[in-house]
Amino acid sequence: MTGRIPLPYDFLPPVPAFELRSTDLVDGATMPDAHVHALGNTSPQLSWAGFPAGTRSFAVTCYDPDAPTAAGWWHWLLVNLPAGVTELAAGAGAGDGELPGGAFHVRNDFPGHRYDGAAPPPGPAHRYVFVVHALDVPALEVGPDTPAAQVGFHLTAHALGRAVLTVEYQSAP
């Protein structure tokens, strides 16, 4: 779709990129139904490598910059993953029960403390930006109900690197 707004990470201070892979998602492709809110609503498998030395923790987010709001739409905010964790299995976004270390979900915009998949209104396809953030602190000073914008502020302030994978989804008219 031409005329799209830039991705929000284009406006942030640059940090090194690293590799983000998925057995469920292909960068630039359509999001499979298993990860769509009204269908499977399962968080995708993600794995990452090549992150900067000095990484002390990770956060994983999914954001829709094309949502019909001035602030986009947060689908997933998972914070405080220990630095030794380099993969999340499909379904890891279901809740906090199986997460490693002190990791937990922050309330998304649905709202829920979990992954909630693509749910765009009818119309043009939306982009879903999955990001693994390599951070310079072992834990962000946020709680489960911290507003997503505030979490984003902390992610930017503590970013050592960022790995990005973007997929699209379009609801049927």
134 band by pLDDT with thresholds 50, 70 and 90: very high
7 assigned to some structural domain: no
Residue 94 counted as domain residue? yes
Amino acid type, 69: T
Query: How many domains, in total, are found in the chain?
Result: 1
Residue 157 in any domain: the answer is yes
Other C-beta atoms lying within 10 Å of the C-beta of residue 35: 26
Asked if residue 105 lies in contact with residue 144, where contact means CB atoms within 8 angstroms, the answer is yes
Question: Domain for residue 161, yes or no?
Answer: yes
Q: Would 92 be classed as within a structural domain?
A: yes
Query: What pLDDT does residue 2 have?
Result: 57
Q: What mean pLDDT do residues 69-97 have? A: 96
Tell me whether residue 77 is in a domain.
Answer: yes
Which of 109, 120, 116, 58 lies closest to 88 in space, CA to CA? Answer: 58
Residue 1 lies in a domain: no
Which of these, 53, 60, 50, lies nearest to 130 by C-alpha position? Answer: 60
The verdict on residue 145 lying in a domain is yes
C-alpha separations of 95 from 30, 42, 147 in Å: 25, 11, 18
List the CATH number of the domain containing 19: 3.90.280.10
**Domain limits at 94?**
14-169
pLDDT at res. 86? 98
pLDDT of residue 68: 94
Q: Is the pLDDT of residue 173 over 80?
A: no
Mean per-residue pLDDT of the chain: 96
**Cis before 111 (ω within 30):** yes
Backbone angles phi, psi at 159, to 5 degrees: -75, 125
Could you give the 3-state DSSP secondary structure of residue 94?
Answer: helix
Q: What are 70's two structure tokens?
A: 């001035």
CA distances from 80 to 111, 112, 120, 129 (A): 20, 18, 28, 19
